[in-house]
Amino acid sequence: MTIEGSKNILVTGGAGFIGSALVPLLLSKNYRVTVVDHLSTSRLQNLNPFFTLEKFKFIQLDLLDYRKLTEVVKECDIVFHLAANVDVRKGRLNTEVDFLNNIVATRNVLESMRISDRCKKIIFTSSSVVYGESAVIPTPESYGPLKPISLYGASKLACEALISGYVGTFGIQSVIFRLANIVGSSIGHGVIFDFFRKLKQSDGKYLEILGDGNQKKSYLYIEDCVNALAFGLNQLGSGLEILNVGSDDQIDTNTVAQIIITELGLHPEITHTSELKDGRGWIGDIKNMLLSTDKLKKIGWQINHSSKDTVSVTVKKIIEHNQNKDK
């Protein structure tokens, strides 16, 4: 992988789960890294190891503040745009969440790049949910038409379209990554996080599973994910590139739950609940998701964990972290 230590990389949402794992990888390759984050759902402490480094800078900033954003972007060469609403279910409660934090924020980043003299390259983290309920499994990047079934998915697809428009109109260079479920010990949302929270609230006596538990999805470990994102740096320059990122297999929700309760040594009463009759956990939940990653593998990326191994490693690390906190 090419090392371009003279480059200044801007990471939006860099204090979040994926961003704070990407930052040390970029720093290790001798890039200068500027993180912007509004810290509403992320934690500044995720970046504590980097504040003493000369090549690192943090700026608390909401991407909806276009004027301040333009001042930051003009000092950078490449943008990793990770900032977004991270909870698919929020869109049902507040339809502005995905529109503002995903679509408007992305437009602001792109417009800041358009008027910048030097920043013309963007790597964007989209999502597997843009495919909707794909009829082809594993799903390749060429699959279509794309029919997302959540506002989150629709907003991510809208962001992709905006990026494509800026690439075609203004010569921006971009790589878009469509991510499967990315997990790790510091995850703050998603099914693994929810199961730990529910078991803690019930003192290990009960566990509610949304849907019938047969939803099958791909889970990828955070280190495998950020390694994939770094490959995007060498793919910038060909206009627009779209790459799937995920594991080669799936695991169902019931198995995820069983891994957690086994590792914790619990025997909770398990219930399945859903407002839907087709086994989904919630409106917008995709029951069957597996991405084809052949395209990314051809440029050298390797997967180090299966979905089951990913979940098992994540669960063990969360338990270990919680035990150390309690000491």
Whole-model pTM: value is 0.95
Cα–Cα dist 43/32, whole Å: 21
* Per-residue CA distances from 316 to 90, 208, 251, 320 (Å): 28, 21, 17, 6
pLDDT digits (tens, 9 = 90+) for 293-321: 999 999 999 999 999 999 999 999 999 98
Three-state secondary structure string covering the chain: CCCCCCCEEEEECCCCCCHHHHHHHHHHCCCEEEEEECCCCCCHHHHHHHCCCCCEEEEECCCCCHHHHHHHHCCCCEEEECCCCCCCCHHHHCCHHHHHHHHHHHHHHHHHHHCCCCCCEEEEEEEHHHHECCCCCCECCCCCCCECCCHHHHHHHHHHHHHHHHHHHHCCEEEEEEECEEECCCCCCCHHHHHHHHHHHCCCCEEEEECCCCCEECEEEHHHHHHHHHHHHHCCCCCEEEEEECCCCCEEHHHHHHHHHHHHCCCCEEEEECCCCCCCCCCCCCCECCECCHHHHCCCCCCCCCHHHHHHHHHHHHHHHHHHHHC
pLDDT at 324: 74
Is the separation of the CB atoms in 152 and 188 below 8 Å?
no
- Predicted confidence (pLDDT) per residue in 249-286, tens digit: 999 999 999 999 999 999 999 999 987 889 998 889 99
Low-confidence ranges of the chain (pLDDT < 50): 1-3
- Predicted local distance difference test score (pLDDT) of residue 41: 85
CATH code for residues 8-182+218-245:
3.40.50.720
pLDDT of residue 88: 78
What are the extents of the domains in the chain? 8-182+218-245, 186-217+249-326
What's the distance, CA 287 to chain centroid? Answer: 19
Q: Determine the pLDDT at residue 226.
A: 97
The residues carrying an active-site annotation are: 152
Q: How far is CA 223 from the centre of its chain?
A: 12
- Would you state the pLDDT for residue 327? 61
- pLDDT, residue 1, reads 40
- pLDDT for 6 equals 67
8 A C-beta contact, residue 169 and residue 114: no
The pLDDT assigned to 75 comes to 95
Give the architecture (CATH level 2) of 186-217+249-326: Alpha-Beta Complex (3.90)
Determine the pLDDT at residue 276: 85
pLDDT, residue 237, reads 85
